[in-house]
A and B are shown apart, each in its own frame.
Chain A
Amino acid sequence: MAEELVFIPGRWDITYNYAAGKVSSKFFAELRDNKRLMGIKCSRCGRVMMPPRGFCERCFAPAGEWVEVGPEGTIQAFTITVEKFEGNPDPPFAVAYVQLDGADTAMLNYVRGLDFSDLNRAAESLRVGTRVRVVYKEQRAGEVTDFEYELV
């Protein structure tokens, strides 16, 4: 007789309350209240970081001046997720790292308004180097998904 093997289900259910800090909080408030995307300049090398951060990892120096970036930018990397993964939105959906005009790093968000009926064609329309613009949502909660990208 085959031995019975027991499985015990388990689950981590822990609520976090991540502090966004002053820098990210300002970014989210500008996004929500003024429909503006703000990057921040490294006080030493001057590169404009998007998303904004309190310091530059490379120079190991604090960030300084705020700089408005966008509203258009260039795709640096993208993917179209086709598989359903637990916890993810329903596929297919496209996300892209976009270097917004005036920024030196690329920021991730959804690219909306794509036709996924032909996946290769959809991917072609997102080719690295493609120009996109920022679209703000009507209802904004002060979080990164308050905006998204669409093809120019």
Chain B
Amino acid sequence: MTRRVAIVGIAQTRLETEKPDQILDEVIFEAASKALADAGIGREEVDSITIAAADQIDGRPISSMLEACPAGAYLKDEIKTTEEGSYAAILASLRIMSGVFDSALVVSWSKCSEVPVTRVSNYGAEPFFHRPFGLNYITTTGFMVNAYRAKYGLPEMAAAKVVVKNRGNALNNPLACYQTPVSTEEVLSSRIVAWPVRAMDMAPLCDGACALVLASEERARGMVQPPVWIQGMGWATETYYLGERDLSRLTSLEVAARRAYAMAGVTNPLRELDVAEIHDIADYHELMAYEALGLCPWGQAARLMEEGVTEMGGRLPVNPSGGALSGSPFFATGLVRLAEAALQVRGDAGRRQVKGAKRALAHGSYGFCGQGNSVFILGE
């Protein structure tokens, strides 16, 4: 039996369109130091540092050379993941489960205001067969939505309702980047960027950082915050080659969820979960995630949305925080989802709290068309 891991410290910076008053190091320091303060411990009491960042967004190769110490790593253990923020939490958890470490500071960030992220994303296209075709995280979303549309029809109205739901939820989240409501009419009349994907279908990028403190069961005992247990984790990666994939479904998310559910003993997610934070790269992506997470049958996500199941007050509220659609610090977005899910279980989510939430799901995603996905199940 592996050791249990708890989340004992949670912090995020305010998400903002830009943070010109802070250099990246200071944004990272802010999140990391606030997470330690939330956990009620000092930097000297943490024995491992796990970070997640994208060099091209940070604007320096091997950005950990510069950013490890702002994340708390001075003369300590430090290791970096380069998939996505939630993967730092996976690695940190595994390191604690191994028994080598007893505690971890997990930090992820992005300052998207400093670089055209679509350009960075285009350089992620393999150079021989993919790069000349203008691929980025937005245009590839167009492929995914068209593949979904071919199978089930285009859930345009349901997608717009996802944006309205999430942006409405963000009114209760003082950390969200966009705290103004939108209407389905606004979403459906926003300009098309990659047919049929509209500007407001995509999560708007922003600046921010997120940090968590994790601890083993023994270490968590007696800490100031009630532990939020990681009951299950799963993650999986699909092929990079989109022409080999069934783009109408998020297959690696389905696999990741199955693993996380098995570990946590979840058999009926819609009934057994109280709240979910989904990495909504686009509104359509949130709908497709409902299906891959087993919240509804394939092709039924629009109906789930239309029935209000995932609204606040519904059977399973999704993204009470407002989700990425209310501001996405690109690489850190999955870790923000995990932080928000943990706040819900701890009962510390303020006005966005789902009453009595005991069990939460958090989802992280990276790559074109959701190539890789992680799923966490958290509980009291």
Contact = CB atoms under 8 A, between A and B. Distances in A.
Interface in A83-140: 83, 85-89, 93, 95, 97, 99, 105-110, 119, 122-123, 127-129
Interface in B115-129: 116, 118-119, 122, 127-129
Interface stretch (B27-35, B238-246, B267-275, B328-336): B238-246
A147 B59 CA distance: 35
Interface in B203-217: none
A110 to B, nearest CB: 7
B194 A20 contact: no
B147 interface: yes
User: Size range of the interface on A?
Assistant: 35 or more
A51 interface: yes
B146 A128 contact: yes
Nearest to B247: A77
A28 B255 CA distance: 36
Given A18-B128, A87-B122, A105-B244, A79 B150 contact: no
Contacts of B149: 128
B127 A16 contact: yes
B74 interface: no
A127 B243 CA distance: 16
B122 A10 contact: no
A123 B154 CA distance: 13
Interface centre among B138, B192, B199 (most CB of A within 10 A): B192
Contacts of A129: 150
B58 to A, nearest CB: 11
A79 B140 CA distance: 8
Interface of B: 20-21, 56, 59, 116, 118-119, 122, 127-130, 132-134, 136, 138-140, 142-144, 146-147, 149-150, 191-197, 199, 239, 241-244, 247
Interface of A: 5, 7, 10, 12, 16, 18, 20, 24, 49-51, 57, 76-83, 85-89, 93, 95, 97, 99, 105-110, 119, 122-123, 127-129, 143-145
Q: Which 3 A/B pairs are nearest by Cβ-Cβ distance? A: A79-B142, A128-B150, A106-B243
